[in-house]
Amino acid sequence: METSDDAVEIATVFGSRSSPVVDLAELRAETNSGEHLVPVRQYVIDGWPGKKAVPLQPYYTVRDELSTFADGCVSRSTRAVIPTLRARMLELAYERHPGVVRMKQRCRENIWWPGIDKDIEQQVRECTACVITGKSIRPTPLPAKQILLPSGPWRK
């Protein structure tokens, strides 16, 4: 479903309108040059083929949530689908080392791509500062202790 530029108010992703980090023009250019989003955009506009004919399964599973805006950008609900700027987006969302939960929350408000949750988890897991402060460590169960059972009936 194509929307007009007047109805879209995406000025930036992870920034402010006065100092955009990624503006609409850059997102449009990246989307139009990306190998995955060009066919996805076409499917959104023209309709999706059958499930087996689609090579882009992660997008197919959310096809009912996808739309286009601003001359070719793709969105999932209210979030911009990021084509090739993913590492940069993760770096921007990771400012101040928010940890996994807050970083996912921040990203879910603005951006999406297939596998974003795993990419966020990896980003935090590989950060030395987060490992030291415990933001990337998941609680692990203690190893089970072996309990010796009595060999016979218990007596006083």
The string of DSSP letters for 16-60 reads: -SSS-SEEHHHHHHHHHH-TTHHHHHHHHHH----GGG-S-HHHH
The rounded distance, in Å, linking the Cα atoms of 12 and 23 is 5
89, pLDDT greater than 80:
yes
* For residue 11, pLDDT beyond 50: no
Going from N- to C-terminal start, the domains of the chain cover 1-82, 85-138
State both tokens at 74. Answer: 């793709």
**pTM (predicted TM-score):** 0.70
Q: Quick one: pLDDT band at residue 136, thresholds 50, 70, 90?
A: low
Decide: 39 and 72 in contact? Cβ < 8 Å.
Answer: no
121 phi and psi, to 5 degrees?
Answer: -60, -40
Q: What is the mean pLDDT of the chain?
A: 79
Mean pLDDT of 98-119: 89
Q: Which tokens in the block code for residue 133?
A: 């402060």
For residue 77 the two structure tokens come to: 């609900």
